[in-house]
Structure 1
Amino acid sequence: MAPPTHSWSRLIRFIAKEDGKTYFGQPLQKGDIGLLYHAKKPLTAHILTCSPLLPTSKLTETLKTVQTLLSPLGREDVDEIRGMAAQYPPAGKAKVIPEVPGLFYKPRTTLTGPETPIFLPEATRGEGSDYEVEICAVIGKPGKDIPVEKAYEHVLAYCTVNDITSRGLAAKGGQVGFGKSYDTWTPLGPALISPAALGDPMNLKIETTVNGELRQKANTGDMNLSIAELIHRLSRGVTLETGSLILTGSPLPLERPAAPFLVHGDEVRVFVEGCGTLINSIVEEGRPSIKAKL
């Protein structure tokens, strides 16, 4: 069955220049919103009447100007954040279908948006803070025991996400979630893309660059489990609520550089074809930075 239709094709959440209020809206400008915002290009959007998570939301003719681009969903919009581990095989290797998918949860306090700092707290110093580009599926219709063939009916939108991870702390714990749960460690954005506008989510280029150097490159079709299969498995005996985020997994990095992990001052860009580029800077605790806007 075809994915649900919307009155919008892509949405941003932003603080408006006209009144300082926060809105959801569909941008008028074409192209990669993350790159346009980074280049300080003017952005305007038709305002949505309410949260896109509500079935009554509609686009209006009212236009507002973007002052600050935010994560496309705020903490108050998100029900749960589910992350998937070991979703991509090594380059050139066959897919491995797990009996039980690797699952971890992240708190909503990890959410942040485009151009905001990713803070590395003292607790993570020397523990290998890392990047993970992923496509995120946003659940718009709650469901339990969802069949694979009906899984996409439950997806409201997709977006780009960077699942920041402490390699050292993830390895030392009994489960990986401890090394992924710090404030600002789930940058999300730059926009929500409707399923109809995106097309096939299982054939998209994804990549990460750090300071302009390519660190990850793959295709979502390389995943061990498709997004539909993930939704099916995650909903077996469990209700997926509206506003749930599913971080669908990240490819292994390309050949590691001499200094492989993130440090103060780095610029990280994660890109998902059709969803856009998410750009963030790295700030270590105790070093000067601007306050993140969540």
Structure 2
Amino acid sequence: MKFISFRESEKEKLGVLSKDGSLAIELSSFRLDKDFVDMTDLIKNISEFDIKKVKSIILENSIEELITYPIEKIKLCPPIKKPIHDIVCVGVNYQEHLEETRESFDDNFIEPKKTVYFSKRVTEAIGPEDTIVSHADINDQLDYEVELAVIIGTKGVNIPKEKAEDYIFGYTIMNDISARALQQQHLQWYRGKSLDTFTSLGPVVVHKGEIPFPVELNVYSRVNGELRQNSNTKRFLTDIPSIIAEISNGMTLEPGDIIATGTPSGVGMGFNPPRYMKSGDVVECEIENIGILRNTIE
């Protein structure tokens, strides 16, 4: 089941995709127990009964009396526009990306002995087909990073690895847009990854029930149609249960929290010479069973 935020007639609404993905179905027309303000409210408050009800209707294709819109007639929005906290990010979580980062950052990169965590400020995320502002006045090294984003569904602290999936609501795609020049200047990643429009999310939130656990999904990125990144989440150095267990050890996770699990090799800075994005470029991030997240550089 794929949950979406979308705009129709200048009004933002919650919905789900039809079985074949051709229709956006307005969530309110399912007559659930509760109306939801936004995706975070849905994640926090939707019942298992309502999730099963919606899934059953979609699978049976019994949508004749529901409010639907052809997917090409609506504007998909970022599923979570304003995360409840900064996004928790995992750095260098694929071996090949760790190696290309070491080579690109030279003496400014020390190979970590444990999993790297950092935060990414998101005043407002962008979504599918939205524009990435390059901030060329302060950075001339604009890079892309396709990542699987895990969305927490249940509040928890000190979560055991074997129970990690119980605390997940679902998954989406994140493009962790990065200003490499700022990263180099400041010797840390926060500012270089937190400029306005530097977090793209979408196109959907896939409920965890649709993706087998442990998660093994193909991950790709393309710039102007050229394949740049190509890997699978089974190659994580630190897997999702370990990430959730470690992050929640002494730190409470809440419904709507987003954990970005890291990017594979093939980012712009990893080429020789580097191949950073420029105005007019189209970047696509794709993850198996979730979809394609496409943006254009201003």
Using the size of structure 2 for normalisation, the TM-score is: 0.80
Letter in 2 for 1:54: K
Alignment of 1:177-256 (within 5 A): 177-200=190-213, 202-253=215-266, 256=271
Q: Which of 44, 69, 94 lines up with 1:88 in the alignment?
A: 94
Q: CA deviation at 1:110?
A: 5.0
Look up the SS of the partner of 1:262 in the other structure.
coil
Give structure 1 stretches of 5+ with no counterpart: 1-8, 32-41, 284-294
CA–CA distance in structure 1, aligned partners of residues 194 and 124 of structure 2: 6
Equivalent residue for 1:63, pick from 46, 50, 67: 67
Structure 1 position 265 matched with structure 2 position 280? yes
Measured at CA, do residues 56 and 200 of structure 1 come closer, stay the same or move farther in structure 2, by a change above 3 Å? closer
CA contact (8 A) 1:156 1:195 kept: yes
What are the within-5 Å matches in structure 2 for residues 131-170 of structure 1?
Answer: 131-170=144-183
Q: What is the number of residues matched between the two proteins? A: 258
Question: Separation in 2 of the partners of 1:29 and 1:46?
Answer: 14
Q: Secondary structure at the match of 1:196?
A: helix
C-alpha displacement of 1:72:
1.1
Q: CA RMSD in A?
A: 2.4
CA distance in 1, matches of 2:212, 2:26: 23
Contact 2:178 2:193 in 1 (8 A): yes
Structure richer in helix, relative to its length: 2
Contact preservation (8 Å) 1:201, 1:220: no
Q: Give the aligned partner of residue 103 of structure 2.
A: none
How far, CA to CA, are the matches of 1:271 and 1:201 in structure 2? 19
Q: CA contact under 8 A between 2:4 and 2:16: conserved in structure 1?
A: yes
Superposition pairs of residues 8-157 of structure 1, within 5 angstroms: 9-17=1-9, 20-28=10-18, 30-31=20-21, 43-48=23-28, 49-50=35-36, 51-56=41-46, 58=50, 59=54, 62-65=66-69, 67-75=74-82, 78-90=84-96, 99-109=113-123, 111-126=125-140, 128-157=141-170
Structure 2 residue ranges without an equivalent (≥5): 29-34, 58-64, 100-110
TM-score, normalized by length of structure 1?
Answer: 0.81
How far did 1:99 drift?
4.6
- Structure 1 residue 271 displacement after superposition: 0.5
Percent identity for Structure 1 against Structure 2: 31
Q: Structure 1 residues 110, 277: closer, same or farther in 2, change over 3 A?
A: same
